Amino acid sequence: MKVIAIANQKGGIGKTTTAAALSAGLKQRGFKVLAVDVDPQGNLSTSTGANNYEMPTVYEMLKGEVDANEAIQKLDVFDIIPSNVMLAGAEQELSQIGKEQRLKERLLPIMDFYDYIVIDTPPALGVLTINAFTVADEIIIPTTAGIFAATGIKQLHDTIINVRKYCNEKVKIAGILLTRYDPRANNNKDMKDLTEQLGEYINAKLFNTHIRASIVVEESQARQIDVFSYKGKSTVAQDYTAWIDEYLKGVCS
């Protein structure tokens, strides 16, 4: 059993897309997968077609009103605990003592039913993301290749160091994943610069596989179909397949 948090406090860089592709890809490889949407925007929930308005969500689960079991929806693509905008109140509503541990406490009873739990986080380094890091074994950091990508990663790295110190000493960074990659716009020099800047800030590997930019991502999300089932031969489906292979190889070796 492994818990993976997908995180970066910057929005729009492919966290939710990566969480969905990783969850779907692992399930298609025969693993038992639970995705947990810990973002009040609920993009993972809506892009998979989970019911996040009539059924219990991660918000009720964190408040202790329902058990994890009652919040899980078994979709064809993977199991999911959805979220919606109510979760935005969690920061204030979770009691102060032990509030970083809440997600871990709530997920513990169901963990052994799954091979992988994949957590999508909001674009912030607040209490929700800290909850995800506290239960996680590994963190995957999607990022784009833009010039300022590296500075935000330093802040993220500092947060992870603090989580290790106070909440979860075992959590590690599995790697940094370049997403929305455009081989024409992101030239070799940009890539070299990014790699060097990242090296200054963070001791983590950049995955060899990059996820190329493709309209197929938005199309599949609008249709609420995972990218592999929607267009398995598309560049982006191939990239995510190659990346999951690379990720699993690292896990096994």
Q: Which is nearer to ligand ADP, 130 or 236 (CB)?
A: 236
154-213: contacts with Mg ion (CB under 5 A) = none
Reduced to 3 states (helix: H, G, I; strand: E, B; else coil), residue 67 is coil
Q: Which is nearer to Mg ion, 16 or 143 (CB)?
A: 16
CB atoms within 10 A of CB 99: 17
Distance separating alpha carbons of residues 157 and 202, to the nearest angstrom = 6
CA of 189: how far to CAs of 202, 210, 239, in Å?
20, 16, 22
Reduced to 3 states (helix: H, G, I; strand: E, B; else coil), residue 134 is helix
Which of 195, 160, 155 lies closest to 178, judged by CA?
A: 195
CB of 16 to Mg ion, least distance (A): 3
Q: Tell me, residue by residue from 8 to 27, as one string, x for binding to ligand ADP by CB under 6 A and - for no binding.
A: ---xxxxxxx----------
**How many CA within 13 A on the CB side of residue 17?**
29
Among 23, 134, 221, 238, binds ligand ADP (CB under 6 A): 221
Which pair of structure tokens corresponds to residue 252? 């096994």
11-70: contacts with Mg ion (CB under 5 A) = 15-16, 43
Task: Assess contact for 193 and 162: CB atoms under 8 A.
Answer: no
Residue 144 binds to ligand ADP (criterion: CB under 6 A):
no
Among 76, 93, 158, 218, binds ligand ADP (CB under 6 A): 218
Q: Which is nearer to ligand ADP, 215 or 252 (CB)?
A: 215
Bridge partners of residue 34, in order along the sequence: 79, 117
Q: Which is nearer to ligand ADP, 66 or 143 (CB)?
A: 143
Among 35, 117, 217, 237, binds ligand ADP (CB under 6 A): 217
Q: Give the one entry of Mg ion, ligand ADP, none that residue 221 binds, where binding means its C-beta sits below a cut-off of 5 to 8 angstroms depending on kind.
A: ligand ADP
CB of 13 to Mg ion, least distance (A): 9
Reduced to 3 states (helix: H, G, I; strand: E, B; else coil), residue 145 is coil
Q: Tell me, residue by residue from 101 to 140, as one string, x for binding to ligand ADP by CB under 6 A and - for no binding.
A: ----------------------x-----------------
Which pair of structure tokens corresponds to residue 238? 């191939």
Task: Assess contact for 118 and 33: CB atoms under 8 A.
Answer: yes
Distance separating alpha carbons of residues 237 and 63, to the nearest angstrom = 37
Q: Give the one entry of Mg ion, ligand ADP, none that residue 14 binds, where binding means its C-beta sits below a cut-off of 5 to 8 angstroms depending on kind.
A: ligand ADP
Q: Give contact residues for ligand ADP (rule: CB under 6 A).
A: 11-17, 43, 123, 179-180, 211, 213-214, 217-218, 221, 236
